[in-house]
Structure 1
Amino acid sequence: MTTAPLVAVAHGSRDPRSAATIHRLLGAVRALRPELDVRVAFLDLSQPLLGDVLDAVRADGHREAVVVPLLLGHAFHARVDVPSAVAEAHQRHPDLRVHVGDVLGPDPRLDAAAWRRLLAAGVDPDDPELGVLLAGAGSSHSPANRLVADVAARWQARTSWAGTVATFAAAAAPDVPAAVELLRARGARRFAVGSWFLAPGLLPDRITEQAEACSTAPLIAGPMADDPAVADLVLHRYDLATVEAPIPAFA
């Protein structure tokens, strides 16, 4: 029996760095499992779109596919956009069985990836005058924001920092200036920004610009997709979807 292709779907961005980063991530996935058919898709703003990739999967003779959302939480894109695109593909191809895997977060591998990216930026876990912002996109769906805040709390518990605060680029509070003031009130004199983003783009750039405007020479961590643990996590979500189908398959 032919193994179902893995269709990894990211949000998409007008920033070409974002798609390039996602392609590197999926290159790492292929390197871990060379026999697997791995395809890249996007929900918006980048090509190819998820529906087009599922059309191609069926055109290539496959009767089954596994969609893995490259999303960090159960916000709007995971709850609405991905299921809608899969349902539309099923209408076009009733004989194509599509399993939808779970989003990437929460998972300890993401925590570890974000932590390693922060350390790579030069952060000292034992600096008592350091304030760390863990920056995410922000969502109107509060559990997605709470996931970021939970990671920040775990970081606080394992370090000597003055404080660690989740901050968001849009749709949620606190924003960067408010987060910096919270950390200053806790004794922070230096600042660093951790990344709860998979890839570069408009929102990470907004976080960086605000952090640099609020503080002197903050340390800025890179996004997570280049960490090897993320590729491993993508395959883990694929494997779970083929066995457990955490979100109902369309068949």
Structure 2
Amino acid sequence: MGEPPALVVCGHGTRDAQGRAVVAATVEAVAARLPGVAVHEAYVDVHGPEVDGVVAGLPPRPDGSRAGVVVPLLLAAGYHVRVDLAQAVQERPDVVVTAALGPDDRLVDLLLERVEQVGGVHDGDAVVLAPAGSSDERAQEASAETARRLGERLGRPVRLGYAAGPRPPAACAVTTARVEGAERVLLVSYLLAPGFFQRRLEACGADVVTAPLLPDERVVDVVLERYRSA
């Protein structure tokens, strides 16, 4: 059996030092569970190593077999997956890009755990799921599907409010919930790591805001499954 393809774990990128550290630790956790596989860290925005350069640097296999797999460390397949990552591999037919991390029931499990960590849902609560946001309608549909699954598990409606991009913004979703009579608004962060967007959610007026998804082994599990499926 030949050498397995390299894995490129590609995140968005952030200027936040804590966010960078959390993502880097996640890539290290992935590598620890893939002995014998070359695992590379890459980003689509803000800072390097840039995914284009990482993909270009993957050595082709003499037998023409797959040289690499890019797994987006992104919760939905928006512009970065469908455009940036597609462009990064367009000259490399021996490198493929997998689906984004979500929707995935393991991520819903993790969201529920984050809710429990802040005391759970109370009677009279409104619940808002807060993704980063994307101009790509397919990414918005993926976020809506995650909200639907979370609502099924909680036994109540879950509305969407975005940290940036599409409407409604998280702050407006919080205000609407209050106008509609919510006694308390629980904002569930659907972000991977701490940083600018998480701070924006914490400042949007909700009574309670959950922590981002990372660090957690379930995110690592999804990355590994995406890699192996390719």
TM-score range, shorter chain: 0.7 to 0.9
- The SS at the match of 1:58 is coil
- Provide the residue aligned with 1:118 in structure 2: 115
CA distance in 2, matches of 1:182, 1:57: 49
The CA RMSD measured in Å over matched residues stands at: 2.4
TM-score by length of 1: 0.81
CA distance in 1, matches of 2:96, 2:111: 28
Among residues 70, 74, 83, which one is paired with 1:80 in the alignment? 83
Shift of 1:3: 1.2
Residues 61-93 of structure 1: per-residue CA shift (max 9 Å, x gap): 9971111111211211111000112225x3xxx
Q: Which runs of 5+ in 2 are unaligned?
A: none
Q: Which runs of 5+ in 1 are unaligned?
A: 91-95, 242-251
- Provide the residue aligned with 1:30 in structure 2: 31
Moved more, 1-10 or 163-172: 163-172
CA distance in 2, matches of 1:164, 1:58: 46
Shift of 1:192: 2.0
- The SS at the match of 2:83 is helix
The one of the two structures with greater contact order (alpha-carbon pairs below 8 A, sep at least 6) is 1
Q: How does 1:1-251 map to 2 (within 5 A)?
A: 1-58=2-59, 64-87=67-90, 90=92, 97-120=94-117, 122-125=118-121, 127-159=122-154, 164-210=158-204, 214-215=205-206, 218-241=207-230
CA distance in 1, matches of 2:149, 2:96: 33
Residues 36 and 182 (structure 1), Cα distance of their counterparts in 2 relative to 1, 3 Å cut: same
TM-score by length of 2: 0.88
CA distance in 1, matches of 2:31, 2:218: 14
- The SS at the match of 1:131 is strand
How many residues align structurally? 227
Over the matched positions of the two proteins, sequence identity in percent amounts to 33
Structure (1 or 2) with the greater helix fraction: 1
Shift of 1:221: 1.4
The question of whether the paired residues in 2 share the 8 Å contact of 1:18 and 1:201 is answered with yes
Residues 17-44 of structure 1: per-residue CA shift (max 9 Å, x gap): 2221111111221232333221110112
Residues 104 and 160 (structure 1), Cα distance of their counterparts in 2 relative to 1, 3 Å cut: closer
Shift of 1:191: 2.3
- The SS at the match of 1:139 is coil
